[in-house]
């Protein structure tokens, strides 16, 4: 069921404290932690505590929670002292999503080319 923790979801296990992560911020609705395979000097993932498979599902079901993720992206950028940064939501395997629990990547600390590759 949408929003409910999934037993086979890595990010649900991080939220529950069953899998370790380097957590940088937590709110009532979100958890932010460092990516284990960083693509920039700052690479933080922000996830909702509730399980939704991707950003589209989250935005449809709980737009306020989707907004929480974006607010947390700014908070992470502020704490990391990033003057500029990128927020990325990969939606679907073809776009590079490997964990099917909504997550925003906050990337910064180096120049980021466009278009991304």
Per cent of the chain over pLDDT 90 is 91
Whether 24 and 32 have beta carbons less than 8 Å apart is answered as yes
Residue 115 — pLDDT band, cuts 50, 70, 90? confident
pLDDT in tens, 28-72: 999 999 999 999 999 999 999 999 999 999 999 999 999 999 999
Give residue 2's pLDDT.
72
Give start and end residues of each alpha helix (H) in the chain: 10-16, 55-61, 63-79
**Residue 1: predicted pLDDT:** 60
18, 43, 51, 103: which is the annotated catalytic residue? 103
103 is catalytic: yes
Q: What is the pTM of this model?
A: 0.94
């Amino acid at each position: 069921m949408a929003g409910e923790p999934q037993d086979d979801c890595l990010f649900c296990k991080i939220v529950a404290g069953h899998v370790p992560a380097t957590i940088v911020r937590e709110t009532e609705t979100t958890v932010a932690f460092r990516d284990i395979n960083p693509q920039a000097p700052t690479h933080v993932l922000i996830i909702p505590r509730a399980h939704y498979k991707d950003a589209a599902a989250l935005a449809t079901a709980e737009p306020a929670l989707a907004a929480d993720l974006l607010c947390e992206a700014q908070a992470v950028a502020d704490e990391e002292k990033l003057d500029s940064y990128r927020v990325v939501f990969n939606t679907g395997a073809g776009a590079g999503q490997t964990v099917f629990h909504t997550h925003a990547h906050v990337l910064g600390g180096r120049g980021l080319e466009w278009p991304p590759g």
